[in-house]
Amino acid sequence: MKILLTAAATLLFPYIAFGQSFRALNQQVQQGGVLVLRVAPQWQGPQVSIAVFAKHYLPNRYGDVYIGIDKSIVPGKHIATLVEYGRGIRLSWDYEEIEVVDKNLPSRTRRPFVPNKKWERERETIRQAFDGGDYFEKYFNGEFVRPLDRAVIDQNRTIGDESSPFGTNHNGVDLITLDPKTRRHKRPVKAINSGKIALIARNYSTDGNMMIIDHGSGIFSVYMHLSRFLVSKVGQTVKKGDVVAMSGDTGSARTRPSCKNCGPHLHCSVKIRSKDGKSDVYVDPLAFIETMNRIF
């Protein structure tokens, strides 16, 4: 069908319908995952965007588009097309069929939280850090790495493994840092890929000491409950695998007798946002790493 349409379009519109204009690097994507599309070089330009999920996504300067898939995107088949940014005019007859697969993301119950002034100020600072990201650049390269080195403690626990999964009301994963025998928990935290420090935040309400790294192209990694920062300033460049902090138990990870799930851990999130910010999605960081390493 697609070949026929392309052939018909080539006859009718020979100048705008030559061959493939873009492609999906993963045509099937789960909720909580990342969709990657690549615009062909001859189509790359300032006006080109991908239209899908009723939004427009600009490619980075290499023609790549990263889209976070959240629960608002209905499972099933979706059509992606190439359109002129801002006006929505279709630029080619090429299209890609994307399949979004339903994922039963676990749901975490939250204690009632009443926002206060400090919390609101913190959210504003975090928002500005994301706004300041370098959308068109791409700082990451090659494989993504996990933020913690894995080390087996006993048959039940491995440092770096997930203790609380990504899901509704939990926009990242919690990774084990605590050895219950020795009570040691401060572990080196690695940048999951190269990037620029976008935020160093101290003693935030629930996040504790938090760091955000801008990997470019709308992709950010977030690390929470840190005990110590090993980078000095925002804007600093880090390389994949660099130890950027030590894990800890700050913010809501502070051990409290009333809280069963508290205690030292590393919370790690990956956020993907479009240039216009209309798509602003936390994805499952471990699924993100797996997908990126599979398709590149």
Q: Give the residues lining the site for Zn ion (CB under 5 A).
A: 174, 267
Least distance to Zn ion from the beta carbon of 211, Å? 14
Q: Which residue from 193, 183, 188, 196 is spatially nearest to 153, judged by alpha carbons? A: 183
Residue with smaller CB distance to Zn ion, 240 or 267: 267
Is residue 35 a contact partner of residue 69, using CB atoms and an 8 Å limit?
yes
Residue with smaller CB distance to Zn ion, 187 or 267: 267
Buried b (16+ CB within 10 A) or exposed e, 133-164: bbbeebbbeeebebbbeeeebeeeeebbbbeb
Residue with smaller CB distance to Zn ion, 141 or 261: 261
Least distance to Zn ion from the beta carbon of 170, Å? 6
Residue whose Cβ sits closest to Zn ion: 267
Q: Which residue from 161, 222, 226 is spatially nearest to 188, judged by alpha carbons? A: 226
Least distance to Zn ion from the beta carbon of 108, Å? 9
Residue with smaller CB distance to Zn ion, 68 or 216: 68
State the pairing for strand pair 28-30/280-283.
unpaired
Is residue 50 a contact partner of residue 81, using CB atoms and an 8 Å limit?
yes
Residue with smaller CB distance to Zn ion, 94 or 174: 174
Least distance to Zn ion from the beta carbon of 63, Å? 34
Is residue 213 a contact partner of residue 235, using CB atoms and an 8 Å limit?
no
Residue with smaller CB distance to Zn ion, 22 or 288: 288
Question: How far separated are the first and last CA of the chain, in Å rounded?
Answer: 29
Is residue 210 a contact partner of residue 128, using CB atoms and an 8 Å limit?
no
Burial of 1 (0-12, 13-18, 19+ CB in 10 A): exposed
Least distance to Zn ion from the beta carbon of 267, Å? 3
Least distance to Zn ion from the beta carbon of 141, Å? 27
